[in-house]
Chains A and B, each alone.
Chain A
Amino acid sequence: MPAASAIKVMVVDDQTSMRAMIRRALQDLGFKDIRDKPGAVEALPAVKTDRVHLIISDYNMPDMDGLQFLEAVRADPVIGKTVFIMLTGSADREVVQKAAALGVNNYVVKPFAPAALKEKIERVFGELT
C-alpha cells in the first residue's frame, strides 16, 4: 500500500480553477508533493527535469492536447513509464480509446468527485494510505 504522501504528482490543466480544485482533492486524499502547469507544453520539460510518479492531465487543452502530451511522455526513454491519468469530458469516448492505445493508465470523466479520482488512482497504485 503506497503512501499518498510519497507519490509526486504533476497536474496539467489550462483552467486555473480546475488545477486548484484537483490540488485540493489530492491534498484531501493525502498527497503532499503536488506541482501543476497550465499546459502540456510547459509540463513536458518540467517532468523531464523533475520526475514525478503520476501525471494527471486534462485532454482538452490548446497548443498540445492531452493525447499529444501522453504520446510525448510515452516516447521518452526516461519518463516513458510514468503513470498517466487523463481527464476527459463525457463525450470523449473516442479520446479514451485513443488514450488507451497510447498507453494511458486510467482516465477520469469530468465533472468528478474526489472519490472517483481516488478510485482511479488506486486502480493503478493500489490502495493508498
Chain B
Amino acid sequence: MMRRIPIVQGEHAVVAEPGVIISTLLGSCVAVCLQDPVARVGGMNHFLLGEPTEGLGDRVGQERYGVHAMELLINRMMQQGAARNRLRAHLYGGANIIAGLGAIGSSNAAFARRFMETEGIAVGRCELGGTKARKVEFMPYEGRVRSSVVADAPPPVLNIKPLTPPDDGDVELF
C-alpha cells in the first residue's frame, strides 16, 4: 500500500522509506525533487520565489524564498543521512500560466537551474516552463519521478501558506 504525502506552496517533505509518494500541483511555482541514491533519502519542496507583498525593490528579497526553501530541504535530507555531493535533482514547474503575471514562471525556472549549477547539484529530469499546470509525483526511496500536464487552467489554490519570515522576537535575549 503506497502512502501519499501531498505538499503545497511553502512546504517540503523528506522520505527515507519505500512505498511513499510525495506529490504536488504546480503552476508558476517550482518543485525540486532531490535524491541521494546511495542513502536512499529524498525529498521535494514547492516554492514561489516572488513575494508579492514586499521586496519588489529588494534584489535579495526576490530570491531568499527559493534559497531558503532549498536549504530547508537539503538540511533535512542531510539530517537523515544524505550527502550533499551525491544529490541529484529533478526540476518541475515554472510555467507562465496566468496572463498579466508576466514571466514569473520563467524567472522561477531560471532560479532553479541557476541554483543547481551554483551548488554543483546534478540535474536529471528538467521539465520547466510552458504554459500549463503540472502534477508531480516523486518516490524518493525508489528514485522514481513522474509528471503530467493537468489542464490549461492554473491549479486550484490549496491552503496557501506564504513563506514569510517567522516571528523571531519570541526568544528575546538582547
Residue numbers in B under 8 Å from A82 (CB-CB): none
How many A residues touch B, CB cutoff 8 Å?
A: 30
Q: Which of B25-33, B63-71, B99-107 sits within the interface?
A: B63-71
Q: Mark A26-61, 1 if CB is under 8 A from B, else 0.
A: 001000000000000000000000000000000010
Interface contact B118-A20, CB-CB below 8 Å:
yes
Interface contact A15-B64, CB-CB below 8 Å:
no
Q: Which of B13-21, B125-133, B161-169 sits within the interface?
A: B161-169
List residues of A whose CB falls within 8 A of some B CB: 14-18, 20-21, 24-25, 28, 60, 62, 89-90, 93, 96-97, 100, 105-114, 116, 123
- 5 A-B pairs with least C-beta separation: A111-B68, A90-B166, A109-B168, A111-B64, A96-B171
Q: A96-B171, A111-B68 are in contact. List 20 more A-B contacts (CB 8 A).
A: A14-B84, A15-B70, A15-B71, A15-B74, A17-B63, A17-B70, A17-B118, A18-B71, A20-B118, A21-B60, A21-B64, A24-B59, A62-B84, A89-B72, A105-B174, A113-B54, A113-B55, A113-B165, A114-B58, A123-B174
26 A-B residue contacts at CB 8 Å?
A: A14-B84, A15-B67, A15-B71, A16-B119, A17-B67, A24-B59, A24-B60, A28-B59, A89-B72, A90-B168, A93-B170, A93-B171, A109-B165, A109-B166, A110-B68, A111-B64, A111-B68, A111-B163, A111-B165, A112-B64, A112-B165, A112-B168, A113-B61, A114-B58, A114-B60, A114-B61
